Amino acid sequence: MRVDLAAAGSFAAWCAPAAAPVAPFVATAFRIPRRLESPTGISITFDDGPHPQGTPAVLRELDRAGARATFFLVGEQVEREPSLAAEIAAAGHEIAIHGYRHVLLLRRSPRALRADFEQAAEVIATATGAEPRLYRPPYGVFSAPALLLVRRLGWRPLLWSRWGRDWEARATPERIAARATRDLAGGDVVLLHDADHYSSADSWRRTVAALPAILAASAATGEPFVTASQST
């Protein structure tokens, strides 16, 4: 029984930060930001890229709106599309880290975590010329060792305060835009995806279709578009 209780306690400690994306009090307890530090500005963020079709389409919409965004890149995708990763940076958007492989961190040992993080940082920096310091985990789920390692590496964790749930197969552009902009205000971090590598097929098309409405609603608040590190 003592062994079982000890194992259960260790597992609970390992998973303790995992609920932060859906439980604000957990995010607060573990000091994982979901919003910008400043109440001024709105940050549009994209996960899971680069993607050969989705990323260029997103970049075009951002350019039309004069908006800068933050792209949390996956190392294995950057290796496949290094010139596209470089294009994101050249367009003035912020580069951030989403890991090397898109795998739930709860399943990874501390050694595997360090290897993944270091490989991601090297691949992304080589392709983009940037040295990103923002990190968002796959699925937004941290393990306790991962969160500790992120901070030891001098990175800053960041989740989100608004999302379009654009990865879902049943999502529509209208629903994505409505969810992403509900009660939108200064300090919000909006989560979207410019890729369908780890979600429903062609989900990026729905995101791109929703993006003009999201950008228009953001602009209508009177808040400027900011990259995530400008205010965190």
Provide the 3-class DSSP secondary structure of residue 165.
coil
Is residue 193 part of the annotated active site? The answer reads yes
Helix axes 82-90, 54-65, angle to 10 degrees: 10
Place of tokens 């990026």: 204
Q: Which of 47, 166, 188, 194 is catalytic?
A: 47
Q: Which of 51, 93, 102, 193 is catalytic?
A: 193
Is residue 47 part of the annotated active site? The answer reads yes
Radius of gyration of the chain (CA): 17
Q: How far apart are CA 100 and CA 123, in angstroms?
A: 8
Region of 92 please: left (phi>0), alpha (psi -120 to 50) or beta.
left
Positions annotated as catalytic residues are 47, 193
